Amino acid sequence: MAKRNILKFGDPTLRMTSREVSEITPRIITLLDDMIETMRAAGGCGLAAPQVGVLRRIAVIEVDEGTVYELINPRIISFAGEQREQEGCLSNPGEFGITKRPKVVVVRALNRNGEEYELRGTDLLARAICHECDHLDGKLYTDVQIKRG
């Protein structure tokens, strides 16, 4: 595993749309492992592949220590409710804003073994799922920010 550099706001890669993963190769597994190490080293609860310069539809999330969700080709399939909370980003360290996100989200994705699964998240996990999926489409939390925190 290796810690990767996290791109900062202003880097044009963060505004690009990521490509689907067609095959889970050893390089994809290495990327997942590196992303987890990078996210933890930076003190974050989520990281998307574009943030480390890789335009692939991959994200990792860890809102509860020791429980990592690996999302390959994630698609949000349902959402409900609303939450307005402070949100930040490892690509914009030290900055925060209040965003409006769903309170509950269900995402369908593949795991590192290529198995499809669904993950239901509420509160922080729902917010993290939305945040990381947005990164895969070239969107940043500042695009849904309702006020600076």
Active site residue 132: yes
| Tokens, residue 22 | 């067609």
Nearest residue to 38 via CA among 22, 58, 19, 24: 58
Tell me the whole-structure pTM to 2 decimals. Answer: 0.96
Which residue of the set 62, 70, 87, 132 is catalytic?
132
pLDDT in tens, 34-69: 999 999 999 999 999 999 999 999 999 999 999 999
Is residue 5 situated within a structural domain? no
Is residue 48 situated within a structural domain? yes
Rounded to 5 degrees, what angle do the CA atoms 115, 61, 44 make?
Answer: 160
Is residue 2 situated within a structural domain? no
pLDDT in tens, 67-116: 999 999 999 999 999 999 999 999 999 999 999 999 999 999 999 999 99
Is residue 6 situated within a structural domain? no
Number of structural domains (the chain) is 1
CATH of the domain at 111: 3.90.45.10
